[in-house]
């Protein structure tokens, strides 16, 4: 049954039209994933559906007595407001009878995982503030839930919690998200807001991967239509050049039709023209094997231990995924790597004159400065990879127009501001890139470009992200934190997730099912004993990992040799050797992680 109907809606800001004549409907039980390029108007459309802002043209018509709840991108709460205060205020706004509040409070409290209703909201991390904002919406018992980028601040556990909540909810949902795995797991319909489509939007049934198939079919059909239209226009233009007399009714009709076809082709060409940002992080090309060594690293905050005796070596070309629940110490570990923070115990050894570039999670940009000054602070040019580039050309690389250069940064969307920060980052050559949640606010096309850029980056990187798709693509090793002071090295995200699940399960086991007394030391945190053969293997595995990394770097250097690149036989042999070296290194890292886990 139809619960919300938006027909032919248009929205502009100044001279910029975000979308025109877009129609959008929501039925009972729909779970709609809404995607689109940065600046296409996704957040604006969601606010219009929620009644937060009005359309310039068209109409949004909700079903009578429809109860809607809207969760914005940023979740902020007033000082002194507890979880209980926030939820009760939401119940009051929803005009739910006060006699029913207690039931709604406890039902929502059970779903959301908070420790207490009396905790102040301002004390929460970004992820728990997001949970509270979602709880604030859910407690109102909505018929329609509107979510704008809800996964941005949630950790892996939080994202899985939200997936379960939406899948089991008896309400319809429209959710803006760039998290492709989340859309794959949650959406039953997908809609992309994009001026490239004739009606401003492409919508299809199914999850994200099914949408990609539908999009490919549409684009294929559009290409065929465009080719046919080009042929017809070519024929009509040749006829027009012969100067037909417009006095005859048939000739006049054909002239009118030819002009219509030319206009249609021009419109199609303008819509089908796609541009993408151009990222390319600059590496110093350093060949040092070990860039950073963490030896028995421990960090404590008051009485709480974030991680204890973490040993890890960051080598050239390594792409590390750093994972863990919110508050487990991921950002702290990045700050330890930069030297911004000192460890409680243990030591960090950095290669001489090591150059680290840090993309912070809590990144800020002066909204009052113009885009021109944000991109080129000192003049109208920048120096990139020893080349002088005018700011207009540099801006175009990140999809900004010349008209935007003199506008304040505050007028940019979240994704556009993220592109400005990446542009600034690209001007800093680095041995190691430290990226703390770089995916926040980026659209899916930009995410895909960022992933390709990081895969091609020759330096080392440490990546903190809750985007499981990006993590699977980029990381060739995972350092996992569990939030209870434990840390270990894994081959991939799935191995870390299994390790974390085992630990959670162990916590839930009743005391009577604990292992016999002789196993108690291992449970209390001391290391398990490896077998004799495993101990010998563990003693030498670090050296063998370094040798494997050296072999891999040598194979990569051979591939980059210009003489090899033009010799098909040598190139094929070099590719095979690189694959063999990569497989050997991955196998050793996985075994190292397995032995480390046995000692945890």
Could you read off the pLDDT of 113-133 as tens digits, one per residue? 787 888 888 888 778 889 999
Inter-residue contact 454 to 472 (CB < 8 Å)? no
Q: What is the pLDDT of residue 496?
A: 86
What is the average pLDDT score of the chain?
82
Helix or strand run (H / E) with residue 14: none
Q: What is the pLDDT of residue 521?
A: 32
Q: What is the pLDDT of residues 195-225, one digit of tens each?
A: 888 888 999 999 998 998 888 888 777 777 7
Confidence of residue 190 (pLDDT cuts 50, 70, 90): very high
Confidence of residue 346 (pLDDT cuts 50, 70, 90): very high
Classified by CATH at the fold level, domain 290-366+418-509+525-599 comes out as Rossmann fold (3.40.50)
Query: Which position has the higher pLDDT, 481 or 364?
Result: 481
pLDDT surpassing 60 at residue 482: yes
Strands 290-301 and 304-315: antiparallel
| Lowest mean per-residue pLDDT among 58-72, 80-94, 105-119 | 105-119
Of 41, 38, 68, 34, nearest to 189 by C-alpha is: 34
Q: What is the pLDDT of residues 492-515, one digit of tens each?
A: 888 888 888 887 777 766 544 444
Query: Which position has the higher pLDDT, 173 or 577?
Result: 173
| Lowest mean per-residue pLDDT among 262-266, 401-405, 586-590 | 262-266
Confidence of residue 193 (pLDDT cuts 50, 70, 90): very high
Q: What is the pLDDT of residue 514?
A: 43
Bridge partners, 434 (sequence order): 358, 462
Distances (CA, A) of 430 to 281, 412, 434, 454: 8, 28, 10, 13
Concatenating the DSSP letter of every residue in 411-440 gives: GS-HHHHHHHHHHHHTTS-BSEEEEESTTT
The reported pTM is 0.69
290-366+418-509+525-599: same fold as 2-211?
yes
CB neighbours (10 Å) of residue 211?
23
Q: What is the mean pLDDT of residues 291-311?
A: 89
Q: What is the mean pLDDT of residues 74-84?
A: 87
- Domain residues of the chain, as ranges? 2-211, 290-366+418-509+525-599
Q: What is the pLDDT of residue 127?
A: 82
Q: What is the pLDDT of residues 365-379, one digit of tens each?
A: 888 889 998 898 888
Asked: is 2-211 a CATH 3.40.50.300 domain? The reply is: yes
With DSSP H G I counted as helix, E B as strand and the rest as coil, what are the percentages for the chain, rounded to 5? 45, 20, 30
Q: What is the mean pLDDT of residues 445-461?
A: 84
Q: What is the pLDDT of residues 134-166, one digit of tens each?
A: 999 999 999 999 999 999 888 888 898 899 999
Question: What CA–CA distance (Å, rounded) separates 33 from 187?
Answer: 5
Of 209, 183, 184, 86, nearest to 136 by C-alpha is: 86
Confidence of residue 600 (pLDDT cuts 50, 70, 90): low
Inter-residue contact 5 to 61 (CB < 8 Å)? yes
pLDDT surpassing 90 at residue 281: no
| Lowest mean per-residue pLDDT among 516-520, 531-535, 557-561 | 516-520
Take residue 518 and report the two structure tokens written for it: 């002789």
From start to end of 368-476, where are the E strands?
381-384, 387-390, 432-436, 460-464
Percent of the chain having pLDDT more than 90?
A: 25
pLDDT surpassing 60 at residue 234: yes
Query: Which position has the higher pLDDT, 418 or 598?
Result: 418
Q: What is the pLDDT of residue 248?
A: 58
Question: What CA–CA distance (Å, rounded) separates 370 from 377?
Answer: 10
Q: What is the pLDDT of residue 29?
A: 92
């Amino acid at each position: 049954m139809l619960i919300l109907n938006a027909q032919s809606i248009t929205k502009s800001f100044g001279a910029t039209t975000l979308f025109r004549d877009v129609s959008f409907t929501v039925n009972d039980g729909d779970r709609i994933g809404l995607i689109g390029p940065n600046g296409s108007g996704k957040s604006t459309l969601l606010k219009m559906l929620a009644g937060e802002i009005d359309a310039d043209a068209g109409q949004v018509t909700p079903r009578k007595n429809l109860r809607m709840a809207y969760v914005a991108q940023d979740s902020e709460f007033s000082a002194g407001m507890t979880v209980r205060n926030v939820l009760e205020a939401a119940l009051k706004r929803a005009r739910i009878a006060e006699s029913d509040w207690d039931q709604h409070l406890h039902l929502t409290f059970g779903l959301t995982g908070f420790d207490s209703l009396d905790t102040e909201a301002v004390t929460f991390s970004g992820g728990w503030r997001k949970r509270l904002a979602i709880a604030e919406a859910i407690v109102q018992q909505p018929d329609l839930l509107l979510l704008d980028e809800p996964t941005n601040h949630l950790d892996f556990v939080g994202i899985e919690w939200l997936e379960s909540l939406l899948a089991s909810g008896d309400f319809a949902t429209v959710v803006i998200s760039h998290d492709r795995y989340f859309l794959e797991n949650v959406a039953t319909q997908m809609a992309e807001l994009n001026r490239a489509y004739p009606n401003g939007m492409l919508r299809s049934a199914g999850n994200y991967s099914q949408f990609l198939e539908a999009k490919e079919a549409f684009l294929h059909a559009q290409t065929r239509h465009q080719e046919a239209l080009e042929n017809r226009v070519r024929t009509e233009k040749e006829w027009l050049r012969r100067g037909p007399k417009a006095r005859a009714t048939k000739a006049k009709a054909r002239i009118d039709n030819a002009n219509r076809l030319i206009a249609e082709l021009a419109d199609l060409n303008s819509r089908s023209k796609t541009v993408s940002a151009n990222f390319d992080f600059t590496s110093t090309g350093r060949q040092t094997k070990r860039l950073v060594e963490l030896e028995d690293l421990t960090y404590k905050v008051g009485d709480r231990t974030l991680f204890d005796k973490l040993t890890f070596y960051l080598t050239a070309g390594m792409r590390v995924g750093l994972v863990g629940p919110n508050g487990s110490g991921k950002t702290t570990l990045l700050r330890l790597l930069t030297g911004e923070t000192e460890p409680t115990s243990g030591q960090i050894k950095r290669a001489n004159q090591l150059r680290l570039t840090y993309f912070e999670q809590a990144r800020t940009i002066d909204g009052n400065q113009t885009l021109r000054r944000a991109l080129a602070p000192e003049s109208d040019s920048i120096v990139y990879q020893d080349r002088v580039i005018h700011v207009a050309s540099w801006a175009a690389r990140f999809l900004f127009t010349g008209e935007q250069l003199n506008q304040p940064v505050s007028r940019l969307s979240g994704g556009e501001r993220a592109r400005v920060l990446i542009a600034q980052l690209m001007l800093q050559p680095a041995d190691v890139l430290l990226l703390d949640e770089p995916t926040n606010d980026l659209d899916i096309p930009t995410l895909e470009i960022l992933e390709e850029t990081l895969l091609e980056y020759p330096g080392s990187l440490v990546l903190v992200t809750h985007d499981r798709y990006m993590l699977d693509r980029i990381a060739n090793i995972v350092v996992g934190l569990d939030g209870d002071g434990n840390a270990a090295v894994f081959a991939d995200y799935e191995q870390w997730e299994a390790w974390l699940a085992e630990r959670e399960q162990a916590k839930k086991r009743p005391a009577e099912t604990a292992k016999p007394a002789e196993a108690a030391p291992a449970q209390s945190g001391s290391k398990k004993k490896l077998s004799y053969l495993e101990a010998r293997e563990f003693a030498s595995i670090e050296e063998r990992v370094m040798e494997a990394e050296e072999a891999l770097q040598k194979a990569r250097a051979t591939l980059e040799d210009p003489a090899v690149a033009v010799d098909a036989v040598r190139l094929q042999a070099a590719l095979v050797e690189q694959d063999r070296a990569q497989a050997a290194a991955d196998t050793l890292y996985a075994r190292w992680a397995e032995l480390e886990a046995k000692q945890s």
